[in-house]
Every structure is written in C-alpha cells, then in structure tokens.
C-alpha cells in the first residue's frame, strides 16, 4: 500500500512539474537586484529566440537565447532603459527578433498588402462582369448577309 501511495505521489509531482511554464533562465544568469531582474524578464519575454523562432529567449534553452539573456542583463546593469535595450537588440538582429512587431509604416504595408490586393481583384472582377453584361449582343444579320450565307452554304453542297 505504501509503495502505491509513493508511486501516485511521484506521478502527481511529475505531472504538476510538466504543467509549469518552462523557463530556461539559469540561476547563474539571475541578477541580484530584483527590480533589474524583473525588467530583464519583461524585456526577454518580448524577444524571439532566433534558433527556436517561436519561443521567447526566456523560454528557450538555445545557446543564442542564453547569450541574448546575458546581453539584456548586461545592458540593464550599464544603465540602459528598457527601450534602449530593445533598440540595441533590434539594431543587431533586426525586427524579426521582436515577438510583437512594432507598428510602423513598413509593418502596416506588410500586413495590409494582401487585403488591398484582394479588394483590387474583387473590384476588377465586379467591373469586368458588369462590362460583359452591358456590352450589346451581336446585331442580327441583315437580309444581305443572310443571302450571302445561304449562297455559300448552297455552293458547299454542290461541291460535295
């Protein structure tokens, strides 16, 4: 009975541990100042791991993510503001490093281009279909044209 209880408790501990959010920040990376450490965590949560690409650098265990975490902490220790740290990382790695891109002209153009192209295509489709409906049907044949067709058809019958 005791062995069963121990197995159940250990299984429960493993399941609960698996449900905790994964944080890759190592104890030797943590700053002594809790205010600076919280700022570093807040900044790191918004920076993308360039290796994993879908995790923040706080959640990634990649070497590059560790280097970026250390860089963020170093810049904070040097007295940089949060914005200055983010700007520094973006200047080195590009806008892709941000998990939430900044709202700038180029991002607005990037995100709105598909919608604009779709609207232009739909407009062209509607206008061209209206134009086809409004174009006059071919005029009926005149009597002269009908006689000419009959003459050509009868000549074709004679040659066969």
Q: Please state the domain extents for the chain.
A: 16-97, 104-132
d(CA 88, CA 71): 10
d(CA 134, CA 112): 33
Residues 6+ away with beta carbon under 8 Å from 68: 44, 47, 49, 57, 89
Q: Which of 117, 6, 97 is nearest to 46 (CA)?
A: 97
Work out the pLDDT band at 137, boundaries 50, 70, 90: low
- Using one digit for the tens of pLDDT, what is the confidence trace for 41-62? 999 999 998 888 788 888 888 8
Token pair for 91: 């200047």
Q: Above 80 in pLDDT, residue 13?
A: no
Rg (CA), the chain: 36
Is residue 98 packed enough to be buried (19+ CB in 10 Å), middle (13-18) or exposed (0-12)?
Answer: middle
| CATH architecture entry for 16-97 | Orthogonal Bundle (1.10)
**What 3-state DSSP class applies to 56?**
strand
């Amino acid at each position: 009975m005791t062995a069963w209880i121990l197995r159940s408790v250990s299984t429960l501990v493993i399941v609960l541990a698996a449900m905790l959010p994964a944080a890759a920040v190592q104890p030797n990376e943590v700053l002594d100042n809790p205010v600076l450490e919280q700022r570093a965590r807040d900044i790191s949560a918004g920076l993308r791991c360039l290796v994993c690409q879908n995790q923040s650098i706080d959640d990634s265990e990649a070497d590059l993510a560790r280097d970026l975490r250390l860089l963020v902490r170093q810049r904070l220790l040097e007295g940089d503001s949060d914005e200055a740290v983010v700007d520094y990382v973006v200047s080195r790695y590009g806008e892709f490093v941000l998990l939430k891109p900044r709202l700038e002209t180029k991002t607005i153009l990037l995100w709105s281009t598909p919608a604009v192209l779709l609207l232009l295509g739909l407009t062209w489709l509607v206008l061209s279909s209206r134009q086809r409906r409004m174009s006059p049907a071919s005029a009926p044949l005149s009597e002269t044209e009908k006689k000419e067709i009959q003459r050509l058809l009868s000549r074709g019958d004679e040659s066969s």
